[in-house]
Structure 1
């Protein structure tokens, strides 16, 4: 950034999890965190601390971390310093919210974002929402929305994505009967502590409530307590051993911990239990792609494609919050892009022989 001294820069990070905020404030990262980062960048901005890397102190001082629940009505009025923003990065956050909550937060972002400013979100996270005054720019890693003064955008057409859909710790959108509905509403509003407390109180007398165990696992995962999320998933499996859903969340937790091999094993178990488990195939394809195993990634996605073709176009597909027709278009595009890469790789191999 040229003439850095002349810039008035404020960088703020928010989260609802106090432990996550403390960890972020320490600015220390494991070797695994740099698996996709050039060594030059790591060496320039980080210092080795035993088995971790710590970001330089002068950069650390530029960032402020604070508690923030985006769903709360008064979040931005209570935090005037994060109004009039030039860029908002909000990736893998909306996947925790129901559609109405996403719409509410999106409106807040539009109000505090300066004209000409940018909102960065994950692929498909804002699909189907009112993107008035936001011009969409699709990149391989994310979708960027530039705020404009004109009314240009309609709800976006699902883009041809380079990266797979990633529904992190959002176990299939369970719609249980009451009293579980109250807990689900807590989760939708980001009130995970209350969701967990309510779940545990009910489980004292209803310990075999499968839906409740799944909701509690989701709340723990959303709050970053992966150990307890895993425990709740395993309790759900004991109650309903033939269900694939708990294994999906176990896989997502394993991946969040950096254990991709374990994540793949969980997804394979899920697919064994439900051979038509579309989310399982897509998640597995994403993990294979991380390993640059393009052939297996394509095979997993092709399996998902066949099951999608058998569904009515308007059938909702959990946990992606989009219809079978929309997801079909995405996967077809994804496989097409990967086929180009695969042919290029094969051509390169032949040229070296």
Structure 2
């Protein structure tokens, strides 16, 4: 069929350009219906164009109307059986007591993410498992955080299981707090180039479920998203797609594993033949070193000279606040960089993306490798450079490169060594907080983030990291306060500026994300 009105074709092209969503003839009627609903509320088509072109919550909600948000618990039982019986037990056996990280990408209203949390609890892995759920619809994320469902969303569970994990409230079912608190929900548009990212906490996952999401993208966007998902896996992680999603073996560098639940994808590894092996016969599941919480604990209080405070090994002064608990706005301006033409575009891009604000102590070779996302080379160059000149800037890039390779163990060791040499680096303390959080230690992560803020209270990403840790600990008021501090620091900055220490995040995007998280926390109160 063709478009019923010419403007629909123009709007479809604009949506594809902005989001990667594609609308073949079979989906054109769906698009016209969704746009028809939106046009009823819009005063003009031109305003709709402006809405689509901007980075706003309203734009995200419009795009969400164009995707199917309906889901239910334990959808596709075969894949969940594979997770329960083979993949998760294999990871747990190979990893000792180290944390297990799971991601529901395109989580809608949370059913899939909570299903992962329930399985982890059933296997006795609940205390060491973290679950992330992301979606491009803030409305759906708010519903996911509330975790209140109809019986239709529970149609994949029997009555006994429902009674074990839910309490009934009229004709609705409320997930028990233990499982609501086990999942962290965040905004993310998978079509955007924002991951893998240590700053965003999207990296090094042992299992990623991204089911029935790629069907909405054009082929070029599918290839980009698929590669980023593969790159966000741990060294031996698993990516599971939906039955309707296109195969990605020809689009991304990955190994394909044939299982009783269909195709599953993994990072490509030297010595593992293309096509992989059946999951039940794969003796190679997650043989990397365990990353133990205590590995970083020792450096949290490294001893003499720590912050030049007599009691600093046990307590660090709080960040200065106003009477109502908010920080006074104070965003340090970036230092003057090199003059135009002195460096390549790649190096300039790296200087914008990397953690240090000035990066004066980082060789161009390292910056160029990092900008090209050749993290293995960047890590090797950083290690070599540390033998010549041990600077905090090089240490920061070394930790980031290892983390972006999804090697949590190596990143943890590098962070510990870096803090021993540079205990007063706010950047390193911030990265330390992220690693502690990802290793399952939100309390220590909050302490490290506070120490980073004691050194530099304008470090916006440290406020965000503190909020994430406090939210995981159940301190919602503290998390909201930390996010409000971040929002205050971002408020008057140009939207296109790069946020220091954010690995390339713009002020506008981070501000939108922070404001969305504040609204989500307000709804959870």
TM-score with structure 2 setting the length? 0.36
Match status 1:230 vs 2:415? yes
Which structure exhibits the higher relative contact order, with contacts defined as CA atoms closer than 8 Å and separated by 6 or more residues? Answer: 2
List gaps (5 residues or longer) in structure 1: 12-22, 54-87, 98-104, 120-169, 343-353
TM-score with structure 1 setting the length? 0.51
Residue 135 of structure 1: aligned partner = none
Residue 183 to residue 300, structure 1, CA distance change in 2 (3 Å): same
Shift of 1:295: 0.7
- Which residue of 384, 393, 403 corresponds with 1:201? 384
Residue 220 of structure 1: aligned partner = 402
Residue 156 of structure 1: aligned partner = none
Distance 2:509 2:76 in 1: 45
SS in 2 for 1:287: helix
Residue 281 to residue 43, structure 1, CA distance change in 2 (3 Å): closer
Shift of 1:260: 1.6
**How many equivalent residue pairs?**
231
Match status 1:341 vs 2:516? no
Residue 201 to residue 264, structure 1, CA distance change in 2 (3 Å): same
SS in 2 for 1:117: coil
Residue 188 to residue 115, structure 1, CA distance change in 2 (3 Å): farther
Shift of 1:296: 0.7
- Which residue of 22, 37, 41 corresponds with 2:119? 41
Shift of 1:279: 0.6
Shift of 1:41: 2.9
- Which residue of 442, 455, 465 corresponds with 1:273? 455
Shift of 1:314: 2.8
SS in 1 for 2:388: coil
Match status 1:95 vs 2:193? no
Residue 288 to residue 92, structure 1, CA distance change in 2 (3 Å): farther
Residue 256 of structure 1: aligned partner = 438
Shift of 1:293: 1.5
Residue 146 of structure 1: aligned partner = none
Distance 1:275 1:309 in 2: 15
Q: How does 1:1-353 map to 2 (within 5 A)?
A: 24=91, 30=97, 33=100, 41-42=119-120, 46=123, 93-95=195-197, 106=221, 108-109=223-224, 117=245, 172=355, 176=359, 180-189=363-372, 191-207=374-390, 209-222=391-404, 223-224=407-408, 225-235=410-420, 237-238=422-423, 241=424, 243-318=425-500, 319=502, 321-342=504-525
Distance 1:96 1:31 in 2: 18
List gaps (5 residues or longer) in structure 2: 1-73, 84-89, 103-113, 130-189, 200-219, 228-240, 248-352
Residue 39 to residue 262, structure 1, CA distance change in 2 (3 Å): closer
Distance 2:224 2:476 in 1: 37
Shift of 1:234: 1.2
SS in 1 for 2:197: helix
Distance 2:480 2:441 in 1: 21
SS in 2 for 1:317: coil
Pairwise CA RMSD:
4.7
SS in 2 for 1:283: helix
